[in-house]
Amino acid sequence: MLGMTVSCAAAALYRSLPTISDLDGMGGESSNGENPCNGEIHSNGKMEVERLISKKLQLKRKAEHLKFDLMRQFDSQVLEFMDSLIEESASLEPAPVPAVFSPPLSDKERSKLRHLQGSSQGQGKQFVFRRSLLDELFEVNHIRTIYHMFIALLILFILSTLVVDFIDEGRLVLDFDLLVYVFGQFPLVVITWICMFLSVLVVPYSLFHTWASHYHESRHGTLWSLLLGALFLLYQGLGLGFLPTFVVVKNSFPPASCFIIILEQVRLMMKAHSYIRENVPKVLALAKDKSSSSPVSPLIPQLSHYIYFLFAPTLIYRDKYPRNPIIRWSYVASKLLQVLGCLFYAYYVFVRLCIPQFRSISQQLFDLRAMVLCVFNSILPGVLVLFLAFFAFLHCWLNAFAEMLRFADRMFYKDWWNSTSFANYYRTWNVVVHDWLYYYVYCDFLWMSKKRFRAAGMLLVFTMSAVVHEYILAICFGFFYPVLFCLFMCFGMMFNFILHDRRKGPIWNVIMWTALFLGQGVIICLYSQEWYAQRYCPLQEVYATAHLGKTFILGSYFIAFQIKESKYFKRLRCNLRFNQVFTCHVFFVLFLALFPRAAEAAFLELSPPDQPSSRLLRGCN
């Protein structure tokens, strides 16, 4: 059908285009004194040049319109064909592969086993052969030119850095001290990761194997399940949750090293949960069928499947994934080189655009005008960091591992840049994480609530995502500053309902990009200022709770009652960092509920507005 449509459209376009002989015929008819445009006869026997050009332009415009219609029709047909192909491939059932060490099964047992496997996996995510979207777009010259423009911008960053260093130092300075600092203590990072990976390889697999093997034989199946489930949760909380964080905090890992450990911690926890979540229902479903004599061993995944899943670029467990026939090592090398290039790109962005600005601003007194300018000046580096993180991780890094593992489903993201709503942006920006949140948080919540609280399920997804993101940043930066949490829970939730999927048209895409750019500027600005504030203005209080109480109450008291006292305002802003004033409004109510005595003590220490307490005004010197 697709080929017939394209052929018919091409034939129509070919028939409608004028040929050279047709145009020459126009001139020939004009030479006989006939004007095809208006029937006038000219004395020289020729058509006027202007009218001939006008006729040719009309024919050209007609050809362009036909070309546009052809491309639009072709594009729609391709999309329909791909959708139907995905649906047909998802409905295909793979041929049963008997286990190596399992006894032969009867036809009835095989059909029962296929039903059990389909009940847990058939309704979930379907993995099919798909290329990454950017790999397809880069085959178009116009899109590849944008990629070349980013490379040219990197070259300009490098040249500007070299020229400035040569002018300042009189020589070329090629030391990458920032990269050396952020990736410090790398041997300890590798050791920590190996311990994490080995624990995930042994503990979840052993617990599930033990539970599944003895669940049918045990007389107390519920108690047995609760015991091993509690052990798994204990391992998730202590083995993967607490110990890696303790190692990171205890050894004061620099930011990039922290990101490696904490991101791997979160990834392995999500993979372990997916492995248990996808395999437990099959064993439970087999146990409910009292008449079934099917063995449990085929339901226990092989260790090789689990190891493959731990390295595969997906968070949804399956016993088998679609695989490519060969490994293109040149493709792997190009993607890894692009990751390295993005790393140096980010280095020059911070060196040229971020560090000089925030190093000087952080040593100045807080000023609203300077703060607003700082936010807008941070939009460019924030957007570049956003693009680099997306391209380096979601495209290059995941595609490199997918190619090495012959993993065929490369839909790690969708066309999020075309989103006209934040709801669609959240679904298409990071498909890998979105699938995990959708199937294991949202869908499971709807299943437990019998599909009665969809809004609560959405709120749960946003809350979990915001908490995990804020946890990662707090551990990696070494301070708790909930800017990202507030953006997720406040503006993210608000935009999710305001800019919903019914919003169509280019203007909504512009609004989405504007809000995204502004949010990146706020994140880069506030976190960078707090980073330097922690270095130049460290907290000197012995008791952190008392200091937080004074900060929260003083900030709220100041904003609520003293905003009109300009003299008092100036004295306060000279001694309170902006991030403390910002934080106190977000968590003021929570603090009053958790620390009432500290709040009362802070209130007692407050002096009248005309005579502020010296103890509370003792800020950073």
Going by C-beta distance under 8 Å and a sequence separation of 6 or more, which residues neighbour residue 566?
A: none
Cβ density class 453-473: b for 16+ within 10 Å, e for less:
eeeebbebbbeebbebebbbb
Q: What letter does residue 417 receive in the DSSP assignment?
A: G
User: Residue 22: is it exposed, middle or buried by C-beta count within 10 angstroms (0-12/13-18/19+)?
Assistant: exposed
* Candidates 469, 500, 547, 585; catalytic one: 469
Task: Give the C-alpha distances (Å, rounded to integers) separating 149 from 139, 144, 146, 348, 388.
Answer: 16, 9, 5, 16, 14
Nearest partner of 129 among 543, 501, 407, judged by Cα: 407
Dihedral (CA of 370, 376, 378, 381) sign: negative
Task: Return the structure tokens found at 619.
Answer: 């800020």
Helices (H), 122-140: 133-137
Going by C-beta distance under 8 Å and a sequence separation of 6 or more, which residues neighbour residue 153?
A: none
Task: Return the structure tokens found at 127.
Answer: 């993995």
Question: ∠387-389-392 over CA atoms, to 5°?
Answer: 100
One-character DSSP codes across 43-89: TTSS--HHHHHHHHHHHHHHHHHHHHHHHHHHHHHHHHHHHHHHHHH
User: Residue 364: is it exposed, middle or buried by C-beta count within 10 angstroms (0-12/13-18/19+)?
Assistant: exposed
- 170 vs 155: CA distance, rounded Å: 21
| Contact criterion met (CB below 8 Å) for 410 and 135 | yes
Helix (H, G, I), strand (E, B) or coil at 291: coil
Catalytic-residue membership of 469: yes
- 568 vs 425: CA distance, rounded Å: 44
Task: Give the C-alpha distances (Å, rounded to integers) separating 484 from 108, 274, 521, 583, 586.
Answer: 54, 26, 12, 12, 12
Q: Give me the active site residues, please.
A: 469
